[in-house]
Each structure stands twice: as structure tokens, then as C-alpha cells.
Structure 1
Amino acid sequence: MLRHKAYKFRVYPNKKQQVLIAKTIGCSRFVYNHFLALWNEEYAKNKKGLSYNACSAMLPKMKQAEATHWLKDVDSIALQSSIRNLADSFSRFLKKQNNKPVFKSKNHPIQSYKTKNGNNNIELKGKCIKLPKLGLVKCAKSRELKGRILNATIRKHASGNYFVSILCEEKIEVLDKKIVPIGIDLGVTNFAILSDGRKIDNNRLTSKMEKKLKREQRKLSRRALVAKENGTILSEAKNYQKQKRKVARLYEKVVNQHNDFLNKLSTEIIKNHDVICIEDLNIKGMLRNRKLAKSISDVSWSKFVAKLKYKAEWHSRAIIKINRWFPTSQLCSACSHQDGKKPLHIREWTCPKCQAHHDRDINASKNILKEGLRLHAQNLS
């Protein structure tokens, strides 16, 4: 089955390439904001907006105009992609699928542009990647690309690091049927508790780095105050910008560690289980709890569930979500007796009916599995 799969690599552009990347990002942002302003005017008049073709036809004239002739210096496909992104965003807005598009800011921590593959102008060559206008850029290639390259997105992070994401169309092989269902109870103390009795430790990556982050952020605040006292704008304050990149690198390290952990765990579960049962958690609602919000955001449940979903779709696995109000912690997984609601500090309990002793979380994951299999059988019939 043909699927779209992205490969992300770190790239090391030279000074000349860095200048061209910055130029392309700036021009792409300018084109996006320029046409968004025109789009908003049209929408205010007739509630419809412009079209991709209408905006695309204006672009050559902008390149010829004296005020904006510098648009010719960058990758033309990147500029067309900006208009395409705007058209798609406005189309979703008109269908009430997302909010109205907003203007792009040059102060966003991640700056990027997208270009398409045509006549093999995007390809990996040894330890380099060939990109339109940039030529060969040094690349940390960690794996081989499979399938046909569709496009590439070049990103510059606030840390000063550059990355390229290459989207490929490739054939994803369906994994062998395991016929081993699993129930997963997501937690805070342990990241995931599986119905087979395993508990996956929560690495608490953000909290481990918290002291270091606080120290470096205090330095950043002090340097901002010094720049203000000296009458220097922050974009020109070298010490502030240097410290800002240092803080960004720390955050980037945490994000990379999180993604590595989530990718490995989701892949292992998908490989070994064909039916995965999880709770349909109201994570947005749970984040309103001031006592738990920080811990919940640290464990990244939403990202984990999203990764499980797309990997399950790739490999023909079933993800079954059970109702968030199903009493997973109240039912005895051995005899199904409902023992009533229990406060969070009670981690173990004994069923008054069958005398089975339960670990609260493992018992919940077993109940999730039972209910999930019931719903799965119902869907198949």
C-alpha cells in the first residue's frame, strides 16, 4: 500500500547557503502575508476569498515590479508553495475546519519553507543532500530513503540548527498478524501500564532538565534587562541572542528525547499487537487541573496516541478507543464486580466479591482490554 512517509535529517549549510535559506524563508513569508492581506479584503467584500490560480498568476508580475524584483533571487517553487499553503488554509477555514489564517511572524521560533521535487532536483548524494538553488548541502544521513521523493521542507530552529524533512511516497509493508491484543492505561507516575503486566517508566525528561532550564532562562532575563538599560533592541543584543540560542537548544534536546521515546514505544506496540485498546481521554480538559497540568503536558499523551494511530493505519492494526466514562478503576478485572470510585492515593485494592488482589493501574488496563475487545467484536459483526 502506497503511503506518504517523512524522513527528517539535520543539515549543515555553509555561510552562503545559510544566507540563501534566510532569504527564501523571508520571501516565502512576504508572499504569504501579501496574499493573505488581499484574501482578507476579498473575504470582507463577498465572504469567499481569492483562489490559488488567481494569486499564482499575480506572482510573475510581482517579480517584474521594481519594488519586489528581489523575489527572483530565491526558489520559485517555494513561493508557489506559500500560496498553496494559504489557499489550503483558507479552504479549511471556509469549511469551518480551522480558524482564519493569520499573518506569519519573523519572530516565530521555527522558520521554514517548502519546495517540490522536479527532475530529481531533490536527492540524497552520499553525505549530502541536493536541494533547489542551494545545491549540495552537508547532511547527517541516518537512514536510506525509500520510494519517490515528493517534496522537502527546510527548517531553521531557534537553536540555530537546520533540518530538512523529505516527504516520500513509498510502499509500506503490512506486518504479520499477531493476534495478541493489548490494553493500555496511560498514567503520570508510569507513562503506560499494559494489560500484560508491564509498566513503562515515565522518563520525566522536562522535569530532569527543569533546574538547568530555570538557570539559563534567568540568565536570558538578566541579559534582556541589560540590553533594555543600554537602549539596545533585543534583535541586536549579541549576548541576549547567544543566550536565547542556548535556551532553545535545551528545549530542542528535550523534544528530541521525547520523540525518540514515543517513536520507539509506539513502534514496539504496533509490531507486537494487532488490536490496541486505549481510553478516549479528554486531555484538554485534564490540562485545566492546575495540580496535574504540568505532569500531563510533560508525558505527551496526545503525541503518543497520534503516533499509534498513523502507524496502526500503515500496518493494518486496529486502535479501539473506549469511552472515557467507562469505570476502568472501579471494576474487578477477574469477576467484573464494581467496587465504587476510589481516590487517587489508593494504588492497590482487594475485590470484596472474589478476593482478587489488584494493582490499580494493571487492573484498569485489563478492563480497557476487555471493553475494547467487546467493542471490536461489535464493530466486526
Structure 2
Amino acid sequence: MSGVVKRAYKYRFYPSPQQAEQLNRTFGCVRLVYNRALDARTSAWTTDRQRTTYVQTSGWLTEWKRTEELAFLNDVSSVPLQQTLRHLQAGFVAFWDKRARYPRFKSKRKSRASAEYTRSAFRWRDGLLTLAKMDEPLAIVWSRALPKDAQPSTVTVSRDAAGRWFVSLLIEDPTVTSLPATDAAVGLDAGITSLVTLSNGEKVTNPRHEGADRRKLAKAQRELSRKARDSRNRAKARLKVARIHARIADRRRDLLHKLSTRLVRENQTVVIEDLSVRNMLRNHSLARAISDAAWADLRRMIEYKSGWYGRRVISVSRWYPSSKTCSTCAQVNASISLSVRAWTCPGCGTSHDRDVNAARNILAAGLAER
């Protein structure tokens, strides 16, 4: 890791009715500007084969504000509107580089409601945050302390489907420094029965968060399906479903953060499989369990935390037969099926736990690539 790490600190806050109204209006304007700009850029390419830029979309925004139809865009801060155009530009750049799909339109019901403010659109003074177009600071619940003398460079306000409000402060965090070097290395084998199996023989239990609340979630979804569309009772039922989903996601995220932090702190090198989770989700028999395990989220956390603390992550090809290779003599036993959890090597006679053996092979393959 080089230089100071930029890190986001996320907190819940409780807006006043006036603040909530202003923020909801801002979310709507951000979504409208994004969708209009995406439609205009798509039309420009479809009809005239013209590739537009952020500068052009910014000019369009100025023109839209001058029309009677969209004059209400002037009622909210201009910074979140400009930022959503920058996000759209980043989406197109990722698409052109073949790193992402073509940008999609934002939905009022399904898309994340958020707005991003830069330094010119908020005031940070004595630990109080006041956004543009607001007279009072946000009532933030400081669940953990910010680093001393922290100065946010960007503030993102969001509201999730469960109706909870969050504010994320992006700061330069001098407390994140490289950890002392160590010779420890670990291989990870992702699974469903065990969330991950380590090469040292440890198995991390999969708590199956979604499965634990499945009956409660199914009941809430049935009640939602019976409510009349666009009725108040349907809105209440939808909120109940969203809160169950939020509870599941919060517990899963908490576990993954604790696990990833422990693995990165204890090991200099972490070796993982380069799994294609998107393709694996096509297996309808395992899709729910794979989604609940959230292997992709765990990998993402391990990778960025390794960058923070000066650790290394190595990925092994998904085609490497880690489960069918003896970790003692390296003989491949192709006859082993996916349902076999323990087997004995015909070459050296070593008895293997399938997952532990796979983790050891993943570690050996990763260290051989260094």
C-alpha cells in the first residue's frame, strides 16, 4: 500500500420532516437527470453514431433547467445532479472497456435512492454536517469515531428499501497502515456446508442467514401479494418485507467483514479460487444457497483490505482440480464425484477431507505462482 487510504465511514441518521422532503426531492431529480442523459446519449449514438461526453451532458442539464417543464431542478442542489452525470460517464467508460454492461435506467421502485455531495455542497464544522439547501445539520448517530481531524471530501446520502437513512463520509484515513510482515499463508475453499474451509483444517460454519429467516420472509411476501396495488396496506407490507431483507443482509455483511479482516490480519498471503459466481448461479438447485453465501462479497472485501494492510491475494484458476488432487502426492483421482465428502488416495493411501484437501491444494498452487 502506498499513500494515504481513502475510506468511507457510514452512519445512520434521522432527518427531520423538512430534510426528508428535501432529500426525497433530490433523489427524484438525480434519477430523472440520469435517465434523461442516458436516453439522450443512447439516441445520439443510435441515430447519428455520435459518442457524447460528460461535458455535453452537463450542457444539456443547463438547458433542461431553463425549460418550464424541468424548472423544478433548480429547487435542489446542482452538485448531486452533476455527480450523477459523472457516474453515468463512468458507466459508459466501463462499458467501452468491456468491464461492465451497458448503463441501465434507474427505477423509482428498485434502484438505490442516493445523492452525492462534494465539498462545495456541504458544510463540515465541529463534527456537524449540513447539506446544501438545508438550514440544520443532520442528526447522525456516531456509532464509531472518525479519525482525528478528519475532513470529508465527499458525502453520499442514501435511503434503503427498509426506509433507513444513511450518510457515508469519504475521508483520507491515516490510521490505515501496512501491518508487520509475516510468513503465514492460507488457502480458501469456498463452500455451502462450510462457508470457507482453510488450508490449516479450520472450517468456518455457514450460518445460512437467508435460510434462518426464510419462513418469516415467505409469510411476509405472501401477505404482500394479497394487498391491492398502490394501496397503503401494500406499502406497509412492502416495508415489512424490506426490513426482513435488510436484517438478513446486515447479518451477512457483518460476518463477512469480521471473517475477511481476520484472514487479512493473520496472513501475509491469501490464496482463493477464481470462481465465476454469475455462471454458478445458473444452477437453479444451488442458486439460493450460493447467493446466501456471498462468495463474491467475501473476495471483494479480502482484496481491498489486503491493499490497505500490505497483504497479497492470489487467485487460482477455477479449472484447477483442487478437490480431486491428492495434497500429499499430487495424484489426480478423476473418478471422485461432487457428492463425495471424504476419500482415500489410491496412490499414497492418505485419507482426505474433500474441502480441507482442496484448500491445501489451492494454497500450494497459489504459492507456486509467486
TM-score normalized by structure 1?
0.89
Structure 2 distance, partners of 1:34, 1:286, is 35
Check conservation: 1:109, 1:157, Cα contact below 8 A.
no
Task: Tell me which of 181, 187, 195 is aligned to 2:191.
Answer: 187
Residue 10, structure 1, aligned to residue 4, structure 2: no
Structure 1 distance, partners of 2:71, 2:315, is 54
Task: Tell me which of 205, 208, 214 is aligned to 1:210.
Answer: 214
Residue 220, structure 1, aligned to residue 224, structure 2: yes
Decide whether aligned partners of structure 1 residues 95 and 369 sit closer, same or farther in structure 2, where only a CA change above 3 A counts: closer
Residue 152, structure 1, aligned to residue 155, structure 2: yes
Q: CA deviation at 1:176?
A: 0.9
Task: Tell me which of 291, 298, 302 is aligned to 1:304.
Answer: 298
**Aligned counterpart, 1:265:** 259
Decide whether aligned partners of structure 1 residues 327 and 118 sit closer, same or farther in structure 2, where only a CA change above 3 A counts: same
Structure 1 distance, partners of 2:208, 2:364, is 30
**Aligned counterpart, 2:132:** 132
Task: Tell me which of 236, 240, 246 is aligned to 2:234.
Answer: 240
1:210-267 deviation digits (Å, cap 9, x = unpaired): 00000111100111xxx2xxxxxx33x1111011001001001111111100011000
Which one is further off, 8-17 or 110-119?
110-119
1:46-98 deviation digits (Å, cap 9, x = unpaired): 32333222332343444344332222221111111122222222333344443
Check conservation: 2:124, 2:151, Cα contact below 8 A.
no
**Aligned counterpart, 1:163:** 166
Structure 1 distance, partners of 2:16, 2:130, is 14
**Aligned counterpart, 1:200:** 204
**Structure 1 unaligned runs (5+)?**
228-233, 377-381
Q: Percent identity among equivalent residues?
A: 34
Structure 1 distance, partners of 2:121, 2:98, is 37
Aligned-partner SS, 1:118: helix
Aligned-partner SS, 2:69: helix
Structure 2 distance, partners of 1:328, 1:260, is 29
Task: Tell me which of 98, 102, 106 is aligned to 1:104.
Answer: 106
Decide whether aligned partners of structure 1 residues 92 and 285 sit closer, same or farther in structure 2, where only a CA change above 3 A counts: closer
Check conservation: 1:109, 1:158, Cα contact below 8 A.
no
Structure 2 distance, partners of 1:207, 1:25, is 33
**Structure 2 unaligned runs (5+)?**
none
Residue 290, structure 1, aligned to residue 284, structure 2: yes
Decide whether aligned partners of structure 1 residues 70 and 360 sit closer, same or farther in structure 2, where only a CA change above 3 A counts: same
Check conservation: 1:194, 1:362, Cα contact below 8 A.
yes
Aligned-partner SS, 1:121: strand
1:140-198 deviation digits (Å, cap 9, x = unpaired): 21222335422111111121111112222334301111210111111110001101111
Decide whether aligned partners of structure 1 residues 50 and 338 sit closer, same or farther in structure 2, where only a CA change above 3 A counts: closer
Task: Tell me which of 309, 320, 326 is aligned to 2:320.
Answer: 326
| Structure 1 residue identity aligned to 2:155 | A
Q: CA RMSD in A?
A: 2.0
Q: CA deviation at 1:132?
A: 2.6
Which one is further off, 84-93 or 320-329?
84-93
Aligned-partner SS, 1:149: coil
**Aligned counterpart, 1:89:** 91
Aligned-partner SS, 1:253: helix
Q: CA deviation at 1:109?
A: 5.0
Structure 1 distance, partners of 2:140, 2:341, is 49
Structure 2 distance, partners of 1:148, 1:252, is 30
Decide whether aligned partners of structure 1 residues 100 and 355 sit closer, same or farther in structure 2, where only a CA change above 3 A counts: closer
Check conservation: 1:279, 1:321, Cα contact below 8 A.
yes
Structure 2 distance, partners of 1:338, 1:91, is 44
Aligned-partner SS, 2:310: coil
| Structure 2 residue identity aligned to 1:324 | R
| Structure 1 residue identity aligned to 2:157 | I
| Structure 2 residue identity aligned to 1:104 | K
Decide whether aligned partners of structure 1 residues 314 and 253 sit closer, same or farther in structure 2, where only a CA change above 3 A counts: same
Which one is further off, 202-211 or 306-315?
306-315
Check conservation: 1:124, 1:130, Cα contact below 8 A.
no
Decide whether aligned partners of structure 1 residues 335 and 40 sit closer, same or farther in structure 2, where only a CA change above 3 A counts: closer
1:82-118 deviation digits (Å, cap 9, x = unpaired): 2222222233334444333233221225211111123
- Taking the TM superposition and a 5 Å limit, the aligned residue runs for 1:347-362 are 347-362=341-356
Residue 113, structure 1, aligned to residue 115, structure 2: yes
Decide whether aligned partners of structure 1 residues 120 and 220 sit closer, same or farther in structure 2, where only a CA change above 3 A counts: closer
Decide whether aligned partners of structure 1 residues 97 and 369 sit closer, same or farther in structure 2, where only a CA change above 3 A counts: closer
Structure 2 distance, partners of 1:7, 1:216, is 32
Structure 2 distance, partners of 1:86, 1:291, is 36
- Taking the TM superposition and a 5 Å limit, the aligned residue runs for 1:74-85 are 74-85=76-87
Structure 2 distance, partners of 1:257, 1:200, is 15
Q: CA deviation at 1:40?
A: 2.4
Structure 2 distance, partners of 1:310, 1:176, is 17
**Aligned counterpart, 1:231:** none
1:337-370 deviation digits (Å, cap 9, x = unpaired): 3333312332222233333222111111111111
Task: Tell me which of 177, 182, 187 is aligned to 1:178.
Answer: 182
